[in-house]
């Protein structure tokens, strides 16, 4: 039985992408070799790269003056690559959660990371707003969605300086205006594919301004010039991303998935708000459509609730170890039927406990 | 029809590993989810990590005072991480090919990379020997096998300083005495698995001596403390490595595969040496058992030879673009039957041209 996978990531992927990926591991394109055994410089893999990039470009509407890169090392490596490549002396950071915090820590190795806004005072249960972005910083860094705390930026600031965004946990979940950003990065393992590849979308003209010597692999220019093939790329993860984006396009792209994601989130939060046993942890206006964090008002019921979820084929509900409670991640590939099963189960649980 | 895959990498993998990996993409361990959809902190993936590490330890005889890491970024990232983590002021490098050269370039960002021996004078067609290793360097860096030029270190020097080795293209192809090395690294995509994961075997007590601030993701300590789970690891590539090592163990481990690899190399080089049309490019004593580089004495025959190879289901013979000619890579998973097909074809080609 296929599980209702509410895991926070690596997360649920579309069946079609999984089926094609499994077939490609056995024999790719009928060439008598596995996708895992072919040269990354072969024409067969070149076609994968070209298609993956063109789907990113098409689905997000990436302007021509941006490069699209598939790198290794996760968003965690981007936390360092961003300041290493872009910070001359100081940069502005919005501290909206654990990941922003990690990005700030890395940036301080290369200059001054100025925290211009934070929601730490309420354990990151809201998204900071109304802050002033200093003109004299090299860039502004924001995190679009906070996987751990369940908040999401519903709109982005107008920034007078280059804006960098970590979109790891909500990229491809909604339309974005890429031209507002100078660099976007995202670990693939939520909405885009499996673990092991990181998408970077970068405005070409922001580079080359620091004069800082950098290791070859950590320079964006290396990968732009090498077209993500400077060294051997993560072939299989890129392929799965490509097939995941093929699926996304087939169902109508980011505009269509945004509607589905909104419907899923609305259904879920409506249950949380009407169910007497549960409570959401975040400010309503900032609630993430990707990761919904909630609590049982009576924590003693947690074990029983998780047991009931497990029996219903629901997995991945346990909250991050740093916040406790529950988290329902509702990534692109999660069918609305799974949300129905979960909300029905929450409803049944309340009836049982009434 | 399964091809005879002489590609230099990503290279041929064992059928059993491919079959198990394809099945795991559809449904892992019968849990109702794909391997690509599970948390890297789940007990199912934890078992994969534990098994992969224990197989590395068992197959290579890794002593207890070493850590075994699965990282991202390829050997190309290790070229920078090694000096960043280990170089105080200068280190000794043996320049035996393109990859050594790239390692030297990165090391010069962090101090002085002293080239203590080189085979550049003969386009890297031999392995430098008989050099003196300076006592006052922080470490010695060597490359065990030169994929592009087809040379291989048949023995390693006795080093008075910590010895670091890039074993990307021959790890697991023969027994090694890990205790002679302080750090070994290898991109997986030759003998160990698919592209997208890098093995690092590191002697714990060599770290923490430079005082250099480093990005979190580039510090070996981060990954030792996090047990390769500081951030989301490349789940699928690690799984394929694990299954590839399961296969290697099942056929007798590195001692057994060394014999097979020697038999394959002997068969191939015997053909090159006896066939009037071909010539090997490297010094005989340094010829690699993994990557055999050779030329047609008459380059005008190249196209016809490649066509004949293609018709025989042989792929991946074209030499690296920087050296031309041909290269037959004979990694662990290449059956000796494929070498028979190739040598027979070379023989037929000579008869046809006689």
* Mean pLDDT for the stretch of residues A107-136: 97
pLDDT number for residue A137: 98
Query: Rounded to a whole number, what is the distance in Å from the CA of B287 to chain A's nearest CA?
Result: 23
- Do the chains contact at B232 and A74, CB–CB below 8 Å? yes
CA within 13 Å, CB half, B354: 9
Is this prediction's pTM over 0.95? yes
pLDDT digits (tens, 9 = 90+) for B218-254: 999 999 999 999 999 999 999 999 999 999 999 999 9
Do B243 and B313 fall into the same domain?
no
Q: Which residue of B has its CA nearest to A313?
A: B32
CA torsion through residues B211, B217, B220, B225, sign: positive
Give the number of C-alpha atoms closer than 13 A to the C-alpha of residue B53, restricted to the C-beta side. 21
B28 within a domain of the structure (yes/no) = yes
Position B2 confidence tier, pLDDT thresholds 50, 70, 90? confident
Pair A326, A294: CB distance under 8 Å: yes
Note the pLDDT of residue A89: 97
Q: Are B241 and B51 in contact (CB under 8 A)?
A: no
Q: Are residues A89 and A171 in the same domain?
A: yes
Does the distance separating the beta carbons of A33 and B315 come in below 8 Å?
yes
| pLDDT, tens digit, 9 for 90 and up, residues B153-204 | 999 999 999 999 999 999 999 999 999 999 999 999 999 999 999 999 999 9
Active-site residue (options: A20, A90, A190, A203): A190
Instruction: Give the mean pLDDT of chain A.
Output: 97
Confirm if A112 and A89 have CB atoms less than 8 A apart: yes
Q: What is the mean pLDDT of residues A29-45?
A: 96
Decide if A335 touches B, using CB distance below 8 A: no
pLDDT on residue A27: 96
Q: List B201's β-bridge partners, or say none.
A: B68, B184
Contact residues, chain B, for A5 at CB < 8 Å = 33, 37
The sign of the dihedral angle between the CA atoms of A334, A337, A341, A343 is positive
Choosing from A211, A228, A250, the residue where a domain stops is A250
B340's tokens: 């028979």
pLDDT of A2:
83
Residue B293 lies in a domain: yes
What 3-state DSSP class applies to B38? coil
* Final residue before a domain boundary, out of B190, B217, B250: B250
Q: Residue B354 has what pLDDT? A: 86
Torsion sign, CA atoms B6, B8, B14, B18: negative
| Residues A179 and A86 occupy one common structural domain | yes
pLDDT band for position B323 (cuts 50, 70, 90): confident
Q: Nearest CA to CA, how far is A18 from chain B (Å)?
A: 6
Closest Cα of chain A to B180: distance in Å? 28
Question: What pLDDT is stored for residue B213 in this prediction?
Answer: 96
Q: Is A49 on the interface with B (CB under 8 A)?
A: no
Structure token digits, residue A330: 């509702």
Q: Which of B261, B293, B262, B263 is nearest to B278 (CA)?
A: B293
- Residue B229 CB burial class (10 angstroms; 0-12, 13-18, ≥19): middle
Distance CA B156, CA B183 (A): 14
Q: Is residue A153 part of a domain?
A: yes
- B73 and A77 in contact by Cβ < 8 A? yes
- Determine the 3-state secondary structure of B81 from DSSP: helix
- pLDDT band at A324; cut points 50, 70, 90: confident
Per-residue pLDDT tens digits for A187-221:
999 999 999 999 999 999 999 999 999 999 999 99
Q: Pinpoint the alpha helices (H) of A27-97.
A: 43-60, 74-86
At residue B1, does pLDDT exceed 80? no
Q: In whole angstroms, how far apart are CA A249 and each of A185, A242, B78?
A: 20, 11, 37
Q: Which two tokens stand for residue A349?
A: 């649980």
Strand order in the sheet with A163-166: A66-71, A198-203, A183-187, A163-166, A140-143, A90-95, A112-118
**Mean of pLDDT values over B299-312:** 96
Residues B169 and B68 occupy one common structural domain: yes
Q: Are residues B53 and B167 in the same domain?
A: yes
Are A221 and A266 members of one domain? no
Contacts with B8 (C-beta within 8 Å, 6 or more apart), sequence order: A39, B147, B169, B190, B291, B316, B320, B327, B329
Among chain B residues, CA nearest to A194:
B36
A246 to chain B, closest Cα gap in Å:
17
Tell if the CB–CB gap between A237 and B37 is shorter than 8 Å.
no
Angstrom CA distances, A333 to A327, B70, B237, stand at 17, 28, 22
A1 has pLDDT over 80: no
Q: Regarding beta strands B145-146 and B151-152, do their DSSP bridges make them parallel or antiparallel, or are they unpaired?
A: antiparallel
Average pLDDT for A58-82:
98
Q: Catalytic site residue B99?
A: yes
**CB distance from B120 to chain A under 8 Å?**
no
Tell me which residue in A2, A32, A76 faces B217 most closely, judged by beta carbons: A76
Name the residue facing A18 among B25, B109, B315 (closest C-beta). B25
Q: Tell me the percentage of chain B whose pLDDT exceeds 90.
A: 98
Q: What's the first-to-final CA gap in chain A, in angstroms?
A: 31
CA dihedral B105, B109, B110, B111 (to 10 degrees): 70
Alpha carbon of B25: minimum distance to chain A alpha carbons (Å): 6
What does the pLDDT average to over A159-185? 98
The verdict on whether A166 is a catalytic residue reads yes
At A80, give phi and psi (nearest 5°).
-90, -35
pLDDT band for A182, please (50, 70, 90 cuts): very high
B79 touches chain A (CB under 8 A): yes
* B354 contact A CB<8A: no
For residue B200, what are the contacts with CB-CB under 8 A and spacing of at least 6?
A: B67, B68, B69, B70, B71, B78, B183, B184, B185, B220, B223
Does residue B4 lie within any of the structural domains?
A: no
Task: Count CB neighbours of B303 within 10 A.
Answer: 10
Structural domain total, chain B = 2
Q: Does residue B140 contact residue B162 with C-beta atoms inside 8 Å?
A: yes
DSSP-derived secondary structure letter, A126: S
ipTM: 0.97
| Arithmetic mean of pLDDT, A227-252 | 97
Q: Which residues of A touch B197 (CB under 8 A)?
A: 196
Q: Strands B198-203 and B66-71: what pairing?
A: antiparallel
Residues B58 and B202 in one domain: yes
- Candidates A4, A11, A36, A333, partner chain B, best to mutate (most B CBs within 10 A): A36
Percentage of chain A lying above the pLDDT 90 cut: 98
Q: What is the C-alpha end-to-end distance of chain B, expressed in Å?
A: 31
Lowest-confidence region among A29-38, B115-124, B313-322: B313-322
Same domain, B291 and B170: no
Reading the block at residue A39, the tokens are 């040269």
Q: A273 to chain B nearest CA, in Å?
A: 28
Arithmetic mean of pLDDT, A61-73: 98
**Domain of A187: which CATH number?**
3.40.640.10
pLDDT single digits (tens) B20-71 = 999 999 999 999 999 999 999 999 999 999 999 999 999 999 999 999 999 9
Residue A8 and residue A322 in contact, taking contact as beta carbons nearer than 8 Å: no
Which one of A234, A250, A266 terminates a domain? Answer: A250
Chain B CB contacts of A217 under 8 Å are: 73-74, 76-77, 79-80
Span A315-338, mean pLDDT? 94
Q: Is A101 among the domain residues?
A: yes
- Are A234 and B230 inside 8 Å of each other by CB? no
Do B301 and B188 sit in the same domain of this protein? Answer: no
Q: CB of A213 within 8 Å of any CB in chain B?
A: yes
- Mean pLDDT, chain B, integer: 97
Residues A176 and A203 in one domain: yes
Q: Specify if B23 maps to a domain.
A: yes
Q: What is the CATH number of the domain that holds B302?
A: 3.90.1150.10
Confidence at residue A354, expressed as pLDDT on a 0 to 100 scale:
86
In the predicted model, what is the mean pLDDT of residues B138-153? 97
* Residue B10 in domain: no
Structure tokens at B177: 């005495």
Determine which one of A53, A99, A138, A219 is catalytic.
A99
The beta-strand segments (E) located in A96-213 are 112-118, 140-143, 145-146, 151-152, 163-166, 183-187, 198-203
| Residues B283-292: b if buried by 16+ CB within 10 A, e if exposed | eeebbbbbbb
Contact A68/B at CB under 8 A: no
Given B2, B106, B234, which is nearest A215 (Cβ)? B106
Q: Do A272 and A219 share a structural domain?
A: no
Q: What residues of A are in contact with residue B230 (Cβ under 8 Å)?
A: 76
Active site residue B247: no
| pLDDT confidence of residue A133 | 98
Whether residues A197 and A265 fall in one domain: no
**pLDDT score recorded for residue B72:** 98
Cross-chain residue pair A74–B217, CB shorter than 8 Å:
yes
Its domain, for residue A83, covers: 15-250
Q: What are the backbone angles phi and psi of residue B346, rounded to the nearest 5°? A: -65, -40
B26 occurs within a structural domain: yes
Partners of B75 on chain A (C-beta within 8 Å) are 231
Q: Which residues have CB under 8 Å from A328's CB, separation 6+?
A: A6, A268, A291, A292, A294, A317, A339, A342
pLDDT at res. B239: 98
């Amino acid at each position: 039985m296929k599980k209702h996978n509410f895991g926070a990531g690596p997360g649920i992927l579309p069946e079609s992408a999984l089926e094609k990926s499994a077939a490609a591991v056995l024999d790719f394109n009928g060439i008598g070799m596995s996708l895992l055994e072919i040269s990354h410089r072969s024409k067969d893999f070149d076609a994968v790269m070209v298609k993956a990039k063109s789907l990113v470009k098409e689905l997000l509407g990436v302007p021509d003056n941006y490069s699209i890169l598939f790198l290794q090392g996760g968003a965690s490596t981007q936390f360092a690559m961003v300041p290493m490549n872009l910070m001359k002396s100081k940069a502005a950071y919005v501290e909206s959660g654990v990941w922003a915090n990690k990005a700030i820590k890395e940036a301080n190795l290369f200059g001054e990371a100025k925290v211009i806004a934070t929601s730490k005072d309420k354990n990151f249960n809201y998204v900071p707003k109304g802050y002033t972005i200093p003109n004299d910083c090299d860039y502004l860094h924001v995190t679009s969605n906070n996987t751990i705390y369940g908040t999401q930026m519903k709109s982005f600031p107008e920034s007078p300086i280059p804006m960098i965004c970590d979109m790891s946990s909500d990229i491809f979940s909604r339309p974005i205006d890429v031209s507002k950003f100078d660099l976007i990065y995202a670990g693939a393992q939520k909405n885009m594919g499996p673990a092991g590849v990181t998408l970077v979308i970068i405005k070409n003209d922001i580079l080359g301004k620091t004069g800082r010597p950098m290791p070859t692999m950590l320079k964006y220019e290396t990968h732009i010039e090498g077209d993500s093939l400077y060294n051997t790329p993560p072939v299989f993860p890129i392929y799965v991303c490509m097939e995941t984006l093929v699926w996304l396009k087939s169902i109508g792209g980011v505009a269509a998935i945004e509607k589905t994601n909104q419907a899923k989130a609305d259904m879920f939060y409506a249950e949380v708000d009407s169910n007497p046993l549960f409570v959401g942890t975040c400010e309503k206006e900032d609630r993430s459509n990707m990761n919904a964090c909630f609590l049982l008002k009576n924590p003693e019921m947690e074990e029983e609730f998780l047991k009931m979820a497990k029996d219903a084929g629901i997995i991945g509900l346990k909250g991050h170890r740093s916040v406790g409670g529950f988290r329902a991640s509702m990534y692109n590939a999660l069918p609305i039927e799974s949300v129905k099963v979960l909300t029905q189960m929450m409803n049944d649980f309340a009836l049982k406990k009434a």
